[in-house]
Amino acid sequence: MLRSISVPLAVLDGGWQAWEAGGHPIACGDETGGGETSAAPVTGPLTPVPRPGMWTGIETVGAVSRGERPGTLVCALPPGGFEGSVPSRYSRRGHIPGSLSLPGRGLLDGTGRFLAAAQLAERVGSVLKGDESPVILYCGGGISAAGTVLALTLLGRKDIALYDGSLEEWSQEPSRPLATGT
């Protein structure tokens, strides 16, 4: 989200648990800035600068699925969600036709950190197989897909868009096809 409006950011690989496990300092304070913390908050004006192409909508996804527009659809759901073999909270089970499966959780190690660069490249490469067309990622509601966008970004891909409506939106309309199986 922040990248899409040109806000500089960093992601804590492995989350809060990795920070604590690394022995890094932790400061506490109340909402008014008091407490144990001594660092002054960084403040200043924020001027969002939208970066076109980082998000995509249902019409573009449909056009890519039908082969009317270049691109590769990638579903970041776990295998059972992609195949439609497990219960789902969405209106219908399965994946958008023409999609490839790249489960977002499969890009993390046992501690919640992204796989080492070589492993990550191998895992992604086994799905995308050198495909250089634009990549559109989706999942159920955009969360797993956002992590997968970050993984592809770490590998140097720049032609990535997130369909944040994902299956939550796609599956609501019975006329939009869903495929099951691998």
Which pLDDT score, from 0 to 100, does residue 36 have?
Answer: 54
Please report the beta strands in 21-158, taking only residues with DSSP state E, as ranges in sequence order. 72-75, 100-101, 135-138
For the chain, the C-alpha Rg in angstroms (whole number) is: 19
Q: Does domain 58-170 have CATH number 3.40.250.10?
A: yes
- DSSP secondary structure code for residue 136 in this structure: E
Which pLDDT score, from 0 to 100, does residue 125 have?
Answer: 92
The domain segmentation of the chain, as residue ranges, is 58-170
The C-alpha atoms of residue 92 and residue 53 are separated, in whole angstroms, by 28
Nearby residues of 123 by Cβ (< 8 Å), 6 or more positions away: 102, 106, 107, 115
Which pLDDT score, from 0 to 100, does residue 4 have?
Answer: 82
pLDDT tens per residue, the chain (182 residues)? 788 888 887 888 888 888 888 898 888 766 555 555 556 666 778 888 888 888 999 999 999 999 999 999 999 999 999 999 998 888 899 999 999 999 999 999 999 999 999 999 999 999 998 878 899 999 999 889 999 999 999 999 989 999 999 999 999 999 999 999 98
Active site residue ranges: 139
Which pLDDT score, from 0 to 100, does residue 39 have?
Answer: 60
